[in-house]
Amino acid sequence: MTGEVVVREARPDDLAALVALLAAGTLRGAEDPGDLAPYRAALEEIASTPGSEVLVAEAGGAVAGMCQLVTFRHLQERGGRCAEIESVHVAERLRGRGIGGLLLDAAVERARRAGCYRVQLTSSKVRLDAHRFYLRHGFEATHEGFKRYLGGGGGSG
Q: What is the pLDDT of residues 91-104, one digit of tens each?
A: 999 998 999 999 99
- The per-residue b/e assignment along 37-71, b for 16 or more CB within 10 angstroms, e otherwise, is eebeebbeebeeeeebbbbbbbbeeebbbbbbbeb
C-beta separation of 123 from 142 below 8 A = no
The answer to whether residue 141 sits within a structural domain is: no
The answer to whether residue 152 sits within a structural domain is: no
The answer to whether residue 126 sits within a structural domain is: yes
The answer to whether residue 6 sits within a structural domain is: yes
H-run or E-run covering 42: helix 37-48
Q: What is the pLDDT of residues 124-149, one digit of tens each?
A: 888 888 999 999 999 999 998 888 88
Q: How many domains does the chain have?
A: 1
Domain coverage including residue 37? 2-136
